[in-house]
Amino acid sequence: MAKFDVEEVMAELRERIIKEQMRPGNLQYATYYYRRMIQRLSEKKELVIFGAGKYGQGVLDVLRLERIGTIACFCDNNDKMIGTCIQGVEVLSLHEATKRYADACYIVTPIDYENEILQQLLCAGIKSENIVIYNTRNTGMVIG
Amino acid sequence: MNKIAFVVQRYGLDVNGGAEYHCRVLAEHMTVLYRVDVLTSCARSYTPWDNFYLSGVERLNDVNVYRFPVENIVDSVLLDNLSRRFKSGDREVEEQWLQERGPYCPALIAFLEANADAYEAIIFFTYDYYPTVKGISLHLKNSILIPTAHDEPLIYYPIYEDVFRSAKAILYNSVEEKEFVIKQFRTDTKPSRLTCVGIDIPNDTDELPQRLQEYQDNYIVYVGRVSKSKNFCELNRDFIEYKKRNPSSLKLLVVGKIDEQMPLLYSEDIIYAGFVSDSEKTAIIKNAKLLVMPSLYESLSLVILESMAVRRPILVNGRCAVLKGQCIRSNAGLYYTNYFEFEACLNYMLSKSDEYTQMCDNGYRFVTEVYDWNQVVQNVNSLIKEIVASTV
């Protein structure tokens, strides 16, 4: 009998989830808003997640589960976050992100700061068709 | 016999709450070495604080309990407004917020100020309520903090910097809690110990309460407050999705008080057992397939240790560093970070009988080795002796 090891079993289960192509969009609790959003994001060539906190990281998890692999970086206003790496994705300042990824689609994730961030992105020269407000509360994915 | 004191927001046999329960069992076990006093409020409820118990002294399981009245009851609108103004760093706003958050017991603080020297150590439970914040800010030479801290928005409020800075020593509940607190408050130079609670292996009956016998051996169990703060909504949703995708007669049995205004999704597969006695709770866990814990914010989950003590594996939220750490260290269950992992873990645990047995045995071994009360009492005592020696 093989010795049970939590991490080994978790790795095995995660591999199976990837292999079986399980996607959150297939779950019954995924909302129409969520499905449309994922479809839209999957059509974009390059994505920048604005906000490297709880909501931004949640979006990264979801995009990975949906097999959307075009994430260029995080972008954040918090000096403490800039220069760090979250789950293999670099966190850049707004200035640096817009310089490197001027034509990317920017996903605004922080809840309650949408207007301020939208304004920042427009002022930084990002076209409005390349800005997506991702409201986690509307997706059915996260509670609270 | 020398004296020690515990300071905690609520205390009593019928007080709900993990930290309050933790305080009570530790205080009772410390009576083998010390005369133990507990300084607390008259409150039984915290939503809002009340004056349920009479003020004065009561003897409870060899512990002297000193209760002080709550001077004001929480005004939630005012508290909310104050919370919004908090980021300004205005000390006056912070003080007002702390009083409103409660339990506001100035008499407890006055007692502490007058009598602190009578105790070898004063052990403050939980970092966030008025008695700890004001008590520890007296800069007592013998203060020990059991923060029960976790990465939650509250801990970033500036007022709590002083709490961690003023504590002379710290007792942590888990490796993850210690790492988080050291990173956040640079407390690495303070004397400290790890593990300040033990688990008794229950000898209670195995028999399920009559009303639940139809679910015997065919359910997973959640034990705790049925509230948003415990992330129960996510479990509620995930279990319903699980049953749609994996039809069976499996139930989720929910033990605990349901919070007011808690939005619950209906499912005939979710059974609410309400608030039960300790022995019923043990029997319910013993008869379950496993115990599930969806909470995101824990410094320690006693109920998962209780589950291991009765040889039941655990399925925990891996987005909570403490729960994930305990799961990995004990090797007594699995953890999930999204719905698909929840489903995969649950199916694995329900279908792999050899591995399931190993998880049960691993958990039992972990609890008996790490959470033995004799060791815990010696551990806490060694910290008390260390701070006493440092003040001589």
pLDDT tens string B303-338: 999 999 999 999 999 999 999 999 999 999 999 999
Query: Are A9 and B355 an interchain contact pair (Cβ–Cβ within 8 Å)?
Result: yes
The pLDDT, as a whole number, for residue B89 is 63
- The residues, any chain, with a CB within 8 Å of residue B194's CB and separated by 6 or more, are B171, B172, B173, B174, B175, B178, B379
The pLDDT, as a whole number, for residue A130 is 94
CB B313 within 8 A of CB B349: yes
Task: Tell whether A69 lies on the interface with B, counting CB pairs under 8 A.
Answer: no
Complete domains list, chain A, with CATH:
46-139 (3.40.50.720)
In which band, very low, low, confident or very high, does the pLDDT at A134 lie, cut at 50, 70 and 90?
very high
- Find the closest chain B residue to A14 by CA distance: B341
Q: Which of B181-190, B256-265, B283-292 has the lowest mean pLDDT?
A: B256-265
Whether the per-residue pLDDT at B49 is higher than 80: the answer is yes
Distance from CA of A37 to the nearest CA of B (A): 19
Query: Are A61 and B338 an interchain contact pair (Cβ–Cβ within 8 Å)?
Result: yes
| B-interface mutation test, from A5, A7, A10, most B Cβ less than 10 A away | A10
User: Inter-axis angle of helices B278-286 and B302-309, to 10 degrees?
Assistant: 60
Task: Tell whether A9 lies on the interface with B, counting CB pairs under 8 A.
Answer: yes
Tokens of B200: 């008794």
Strands across the sheet with A71-75, in order?
A: A85-86, A89-92, A71-75, A47-50, A105-108, A131-133
- CA atoms of A63 and B340, how far apart (whole Å): 14
Task: Tell whether A137 lies on the interface with B, counting CB pairs under 8 A.
Answer: no
Complete domains list, chain B, with CATH:
3-198+372-391 (3.40.50.2000), 210-370 (3.40.50.2000)
pLDDT, average across residues B104-112: 95
- CA atoms of B14 and A13, how far apart (whole Å): 42
The pLDDT, as a whole number, for residue B208 is 87
pLDDT, average across residues A91-108: 95
- Find the closest chain A residue to B344 by CA distance: A13
Task: Tell whether B229 lies on the interface with A, counting CB pairs under 8 A.
Answer: no
A to B CB pairs, distance under 8 Å: 56
Query: Are A61 and B335 an interchain contact pair (Cβ–Cβ within 8 Å)?
Result: no
Whether the per-residue pLDDT at B157 is higher than 90: the answer is no
Whether the per-residue pLDDT at A140 is higher than 90: the answer is no
In which band, very low, low, confident or very high, does the pLDDT at B73 lie, cut at 50, 70 and 90?
low
Task: Tell whether B355 lies on the interface with A, counting CB pairs under 8 A.
Answer: yes
pLDDT, average across residues B176-187: 94
Task: Tell whether B317 lies on the interface with A, counting CB pairs under 8 A.
Answer: no
A144/B306: higher pLDDT? B306
pLDDT, average across residues A19-44: 90
The pLDDT, as a whole number, for residue B86 is 60
Residues 28-67 of A with CB under 8 A from B: 28-29, 61, 65
Contacts of B359 in chain A (CB under 8 A): 4
- Find the closest chain A residue to B326 by CA distance: A6
Counting residues of chain B whose pLDDT is more than 90, the rounded percentage is 72
Contacts of B234 in chain A (CB under 8 A): 143
3-state DSSP assignment of residue B141: coil
The pLDDT, as a whole number, for residue A1 is 67
- Find the closest chain A residue to B228 by CA distance: A144
- CA atoms of A129 and B188, how far apart (whole Å): 49
Question: Over the range A77-97, which residues count as b (16 or more CB within 10 Å of their CB) and which as e?
Answer: beeebbeeebeebbbbbbeeb
The pLDDT, as a whole number, for residue B183 is 93
The pLDDT, as a whole number, for residue B83 is 65
Query: Are A16 and B344 an interchain contact pair (Cβ–Cβ within 8 Å)?
Result: yes
Task: Tell whether B338 lies on the interface with A, counting CB pairs under 8 A.
Answer: yes
Rounded to two decimals, what is the model's pTM? 0.83
The pLDDT, as a whole number, for residue A34 is 93
Whether the per-residue pLDDT at B81 is higher than 80: the answer is no
